[in-house]
Structure 1
């Protein structure tokens, strides 16, 4: 898991990794696998080893959100510069600080079979993307320019995070890079959510052109995002995901040095 709403395909079971290693180095033994095991291996290989330049369905959806928000003028130059900097810096530290140690994919952190983890990602997608996007579209019909401009930076940065996570989870990057993306973006989005909260609670009902339901819905949505993403950063990414990812990376590196 990325710690956000990004792909969970960076996480595979140890047995699956062992099977992929055997198939790569021992074609004879791989031919003896059962048809079910061969299909599972092929599915894992296709999911984790996409061709360079190809994007997943989730990345394409995120890219569509990025383009629409950017073309509509709802994105500030600072947020655009942040995304461009994140791309350049990700490639920089992947070469200088955390290079790939071998042709074999880095050890994974969590199992994709974890139902709690899948539910957590789903909740993040609903709270962070689906509901805010619906809120923005409703604001267009109700003429709530203040609500739209306040929610758009968070949606843009989260969609950019999802797209970047798809890149980070490819075979071109090591495990620490996969952690860097959600931590980097989540830290930035906390500030945009604070501004969103401030904007929602500064609305005066007498001067507000939209409905009362939208007024309270916007406030509830901003509070929900602040609570969820604050926990995601300070309760999961930094104390749980980050240490485990670095432990995996450096333990593998030490094994290969001997």
Structure 2
């Protein structure tokens, strides 16, 4: 099996902000990313060209990450290391989210709004999740492949497969106004619920099924406990993530934005109808007077 796409993915995603793309840089009203410092430009045309080049570079980086994620997904899909249920789950989730966006929570805005902007501590928390959930498990899988430890590769691969699909889905729908905030918030929620069960299977494999030989070397013992500790750390982190952030904070925030936007649009439409009715009555009265 060719694992070069996985190695390339590990090298390319060093700049990702975190597992969930809920935390993003501040954006201008036109949708462009706000730089950390804004240089003073006397000529507006040059400033616009600079902003366009920055946005183009960011979009190019996102496309590169998405291509790496697709390569990662394809390699493990074809490897036979991912159970059928986990292979089907992304397709079912995508279809369900699309149905919600059409029938339950249609989008009312023309732009994709940010759902949550966190503090520095929260950004550190998200980066920690990226390290525990993506980088270290990927290193564990690559290390298992190098050591010939098929058990390690098979145990951690389903989690990586689902997390890659989650990041890819978030990258795609976060920039589309077709999907409303509640639908976007359900992406990490649904995937995290499924991955918690997958991580529990991972823990069962490394804690209760995999055993060490009596004459194991120190490096083998260290590798054994690295896999055990990583599985427990992932379960702890993503359990905290879903029960202390996604459900009590992130999801309500998404619904708050959605219903506020819907109420504003409905209020504006009611005012327009009232104004149109008033103008029509005034026009009829003027005609009768004439």
TM over 0.5: yes
Shift of the alpha carbon at 1:102?
3.1
- Separation in structure 1 between the aligned mates of residue 103 and residue 139 of structure 2, nearest angstrom: 41
Pick the aligned partner of 1:138 from 140, 143, 146: 143
- Separation in structure 2 between the aligned mates of residue 119 and residue 139 of structure 1, nearest angstrom: 28
Shift of the alpha carbon at 1:135?
0.7
What residue is the counterpart of 1:29 in the other structure? Answer: none
What residue is the counterpart of 2:182 in the other structure? Answer: 176
Report which structure shows greater RCO (CA 8 Å, sep ≥6): 1
Unaligned ranges ≥5, structure 2: 1-16, 32-41, 268-290
Question: Is residue 62–residue 159 contact of structure 1 (8 Å, CA) maintained in 2?
Answer: yes
Shift of the alpha carbon at 1:4?
6.1
What residue is the counterpart of 1:194 in the other structure? Answer: 200
Question: Bigger CA drift: 139-148 or 244-253?
Answer: 139-148
- Separation in structure 2 between the aligned mates of residue 163 and residue 137 of structure 1, nearest angstrom: 21
- Separation in structure 1 between the aligned mates of residue 169 and residue 43 of structure 2, nearest angstrom: 35
- Separation in structure 2 between the aligned mates of residue 257 and residue 208 of structure 1, nearest angstrom: 72
Count of paired positions: 237
Unaligned ranges ≥5, structure 1: 22-31
Query: RMSD of the TM alignment (CA)?
Result: 3.1
Structure showing greater radius of gyration is: 2
Q: Deviations over 1:26-47 (max 9, x none)?
A: xxxxxx9967974686478768
197 and 41 in structure 1: CA distance in 2 versus 1, 3 angstrom threshold? same
- Separation in structure 2 between the aligned mates of residue 97 and residue 45 of structure 1, nearest angstrom: 33
What residue is the counterpart of 1:250 in the other structure? Answer: 259
Question: Is residue 105–residue 182 contact of structure 2 (8 Å, CA) maintained in 1?
Answer: yes
Q: Does 1:165 align with 2:179?
A: no
SS in 2 for 1:56: helix
What residue is the counterpart of 2:116 in the other structure? Answer: 110
